[in-house]
Structure 1
Amino acid sequence: MNKSKVFWLIATIGAIILSAGCLEQNAPISGALEKQIALGKKVFAQKECGKCHGGAGLPSQGAAQQPEMKAPDLTSVFLAIDTVFIKAHLRFIELSQMPSIDLTQQEIDALAKYVASLHAKAKTDPNLQNPDGACPVCGAPLKMAGALQAEYQGKSFYFECDDCKRLFERDAGWYAKK
């Protein structure tokens, strides 16, 4: 089996686990999670991930070293909800086009949490004060008065971006249970 097929097999397994509801979301960020995210941010900087994955508020060290590679947008809503995919990708990095990076399991876990936090961070208004809601998809804090809205079974749900709203509308029942 070639590397590309193995990579997509791993990605598919991660998506199945995600769709089965095995990932916990929208819980208040605990002190332990904040520490993991901080460690992930530190590893991101130390391993110079910003050389390829810069922009969108990420710590960037300039232009990509390999401009022919299109490093994915780490603020994607799909990465925000799928730490299994991120962990599998980093664990089996040799199956991707990413340069080899020596990472411990603790660093992989921390990077996954950090990357998962980036969507909400990128989509949250930096001047937001006194949020009164949270996105049911990524957990980003928001003000319901100015947020996008969808109805499901007589209840209103609020979103900070179109991507989260579209994802919610594809499987509202799953997100509404959270």
Structure 2
Amino acid sequence: MRWTGAKVRLRGVEPEDWQAFMRFDSHVSDMRDADMVHPPRSTAGYRAWAEAESLREAGDEFRLAIESVAGGELVGSLATSAVDTRAGRFSYGIGIGREHQRRGYAGEAVVLLLAYMFGERRFHKCEVAIHAFNGASIALHDKLGFRSEGRLRDHEFFSGRHHDVVLMGLTAAEFTTRHPFPPLRPA
């Protein structure tokens, strides 16, 4: 299992990451693209959150920091959620800091995550819910092989009105067609 690609390395959140997460949260539109707008948090709150994340036991629901290989800088994070071990499916969310977007970090981080969840944890399907106005995320997931599975109309409320959510999914078989698992021992 690789946690490092050509552009990014996935690693656990460290207590000293609090400043980068605070910087990422300073852009309301980025918060909304990744999830939703949260109230401002104090410096102490960010420190405590990063400390707690660094100590959290990782089961099938976890958060990873996304670090650039070139500079070793924290560029974002991703987190698994909605894990259903009986059905073999999970979801995830990803956020890349504004100053690091459009560099291929998100796509590579998602591929590394999917290789782990499909190849090591035996999940069958990954599902994502994307705000319909987030064309960049929809295009990314399209490029990664996710298929559109539906649209939830007027599903989320923020910025004074309701917004649609696009549902997309990818099975392990679809993933491995594009990204075969490497041999156990390289030749």
TM-score norm. by structure 1 comes to 0.30
Higher relative strand content: 2
Greater relative contact order: 1 or 2 (C-alpha under 8 angstroms, separation 6 or more)?
Answer: 1
